[in-house]
């Protein structure tokens, strides 16, 4: 059986990385301008007998630190050159490649900030809460407004009130639904109060093309989750600092949190992704589709997040589309979110538009009682002739494209005219709620209504807690966690609760 390893896709990846990288783009000039890729490509041509890690011994692409490969922990060759190129593109004093995902970047910038008290929107990623707990940082929780069941960005008034006494403000922009924060205001507020501005841009790596809405234009420290919205391998990310002093602190922090065994294919893909060209044709096509369905698609300013609102039919739509070979990023019981990138092929986007038009038509005509989340039976859409006829009824239409100014303007109106939609969430207590619990126990989720949650949990993605420790578990959240394909904070269908609970 071991002789078959060379036929397994996971091992073919290492042996055929050259062709795999070229599949990202038809423009060979992009690859030729990539320092790490060029090094790997050069040495893959010669004889390479691996008596080093990793243990698969597949060849010269997925390697360890060798005499020619440079070293991410102390770069002085091609990795240093790549990071310098990236820093120039992003406008940072220094940028550091990560092969551990945006989570390592969040932890690193929290550490580098030196903050002891930080203002954070309550719908931040779980890594922010974990990092603050690990580093002993006190969280000042920012309430966020909601619109159509979705948490938006924190308001100016709420942030101005809560930032007093905080060392730093951490904002997620864009969030998982494509909502852009009012970054010019938050920058001015931090300048006024003396707080550092940290931005989790895990979903905004592609926005460096558009400086007016890019995290690096405003932040002191920021993360770019390159693999999410640019053509990089999974776990490829960046963390950056605006000033030399913060860059020095960030270098030390990144050395603590990132792995000492970084993946060279991931590093190469990060450099490649940042140098990947903008896809204006695709952006325009997406914006035209959004403008055509203002009541069906919610737009928060980021074109890569296509949020189709189906309400209580959302899980049914998700399962129907999967049967037709279309896989969305996630479904939250209200929105089905489709994640695009500059590498998305126009032909694939046209296919998605065709399917969504049919779903808008077909599911929009069904009474809500015919397919609720509780009755999520795909049989109601098993008759593909109905969907096919709906597709034929929706012909391709050309719509004018919003200008850059209109796009930026609409993105900044989140505090006035919210437009996106998101998962329902139970009423939350502050993250650091003072609770006394003698013991905790794991009980079946379906039997937990009315009890007190002992561990943050939610949908995965978007990895923002629906329940915090200390929250009362409600029926709606139980239903959502039960219906979702992927969650975090649960174990074997059970949820951690307090046996006894006192609120001081």
Question: Which segment of 129-138, 371-380, 459-468 scores lowest on mean pLDDT?
Answer: 371-380
- In the structure, what pLDDT confidence band is assigned to residue 484 with cuts at 50, 70 and 90? confident
pLDDT of residue 464: 78
Residues in CB range of 224: below 8 A, 6 or more apart: 90, 102, 105, 201, 202, 204, 205, 208, 215, 216, 237, 238, 239, 240, 274
Q: Is the pLDDT of residue 392 over 80?
A: no
Q: Is the pLDDT of residue 214 over 80?
A: yes
State the DSSP string of 285-297. HHHHHHHH-TTTE
pLDDT of residue 58: 80
Is the separation of the CB atoms in 290 and 297 below 8 Å?
A: yes
pLDDT (average), residues 173-186: 95
Retrieve residue 91's tokens. Answer: 């406008």
Question: Which segment of 108-122, 219-233, 455-469 scores lowest on mean pLDDT?
Answer: 455-469
Is the separation of the CB atoms in 449 and 473 below 8 Å?
A: yes
pLDDT (average), residues 420-424: 35
Q: Is the pLDDT of residue 406 over 50?
A: no
How far apart (Å, rounded) are the C-alpha atoms in residues 294 and 419?
Answer: 9
CA 288 to chain centroid:
24
Q: Is the pLDDT of residue 47 over 80?
A: yes
How far apart (Å, rounded) are the C-alpha atoms in residues 201 and 154?
Answer: 16
Q: What is the pLDDT of residues 103-162, one digit of tens each?
A: 999 999 999 999 999 999 988 999 999 999 999 999 999 988 877 777 789 999 999 999
CA dihedral sign of residues 133, 137, 138, 144: negative
pLDDT (average), residues 433-454: 81
How far apart (Å, rounded) are the C-alpha atoms in residues 499 and 436?
Answer: 10
pLDDT of residue 438: 63
Q: Is the pLDDT of residue 284 over 70?
A: yes
- In the structure, what pLDDT confidence band is assigned to residue 30 with cuts at 50, 70 and 90? confident
Within 13 Å, how many C-alpha atoms sit on residue 267's CB side? Answer: 33
pLDDT of residue 460: 83
pLDDT of residue 27: 66
Q: What is the DSSP letter of 300?
A: -
Computed over every residue of the chain, the mean pLDDT equals 82
Q: Domains (ranges, CATH) in the chain?
A: 78-274 (3.40.640.10), 280-411 (3.90.1150), 435-503 (3.90.105.10)
Has this prediction a pTM greater than 0.85?
no
How far apart (Å, rounded) are the C-alpha atoms in residues 101 and 111?
Answer: 16
């Amino acid at each position: 059986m071991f002789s078959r390893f060379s036929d397994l896709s996971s091992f073919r990846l290492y042996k055929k990385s050259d062709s795999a990288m070229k599949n990202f783009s038809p423009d060979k000039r992009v690859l030729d301008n990539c320092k790490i890729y060029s090094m790997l490509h050069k040495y893959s041509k010669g004889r390479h007998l691996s008596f080093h890690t990793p243990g698969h011994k597949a060849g010269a692409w997925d390697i360890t630190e060798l005499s020619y490969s440079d070293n991410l922990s102390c770069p002085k060759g091609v990795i240093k050159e790549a990071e310098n190129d990236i820093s120039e593109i992003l406008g940072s004093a220094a940028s550091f490649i990560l092969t551990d995902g945006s989570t390592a970047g969040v932890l690193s910038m929290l550490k580098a900030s030196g903050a002891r008290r930080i203002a954070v929107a309550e719908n931040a990623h779980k890594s922010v809460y974990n990092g603050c707990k690990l580093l002993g940082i006190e969280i000042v929780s920012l309430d966020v407004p909601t619109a159509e069941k979705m948490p938006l960005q924190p308001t100016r008034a709420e942030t101005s009130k809560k930032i007093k006494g905080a060392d730093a403000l951490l904002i997620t922009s864009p969030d998982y639904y494509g909502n852009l924060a009012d970054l010019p205001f938050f920058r001015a507020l931090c300048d006024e109060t003396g707080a550092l501005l940290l931005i989790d841009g895990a979903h905004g790596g592609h926005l460096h093309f558009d400086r007016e809405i890019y995290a690096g234009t405003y932040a002191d420290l920021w993360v770019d989750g390159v693999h999410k919205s640019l053509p990089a391998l999974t776990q490829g990310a960046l963390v950056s600092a605006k000033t030399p002093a913060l860059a020095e602190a960030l270098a030390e922090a990144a050395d603590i949190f990132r792995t000492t065994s970084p993946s060279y294919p991931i590093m190469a893909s990060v450099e490649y992704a940042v140098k990947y060209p903008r896809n204006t044709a695709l952006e325009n096509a997406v914006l035209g589709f959004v403008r055509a369905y203002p009541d069906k698609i919610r737009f928060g300013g980021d074109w890569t997040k296509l949020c189709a609102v189906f309400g209580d039919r959302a899980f049914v739509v998700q399962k129907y589309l999967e049967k037709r070979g279309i896989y969305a990023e996630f479904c939250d019981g209200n929105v089905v979110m489709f994640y695009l990138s500059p590498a998305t092929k126009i032909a694939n986007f046209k296919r998605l538009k065709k399917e969504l038009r049919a779903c808008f038509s077909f599911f929009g005509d069904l009474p809500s009682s015919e397919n609720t989340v509780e009755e999520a039976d795909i049989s109601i859409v098993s008759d593909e002739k109905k969907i096919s006829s709906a597709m034929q009824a929706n012909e391709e239409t050309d719509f004018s494209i919003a200008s850059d100014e209109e796009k930026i303007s609409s993105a900044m109106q989140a505090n006035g005219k919210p437009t996106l939609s998101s998962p329902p969430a139970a009423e939350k207590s502050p993250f650091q709620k003072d609770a006394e619990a003698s013991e905790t126990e794991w009980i079946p989720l379906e039997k937990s209504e009315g009890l007190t949650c002992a561990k943050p949990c939610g949908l995965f993605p978007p990895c923002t807690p629906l329940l915090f420790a200390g929250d009362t578990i409600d029926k709606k959240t139980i239903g959502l966690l039960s219906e979702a394909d992927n969650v975090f904070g649960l174990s074997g269908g059970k949820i951690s609760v307090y046996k006894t609970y006192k609120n001081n």
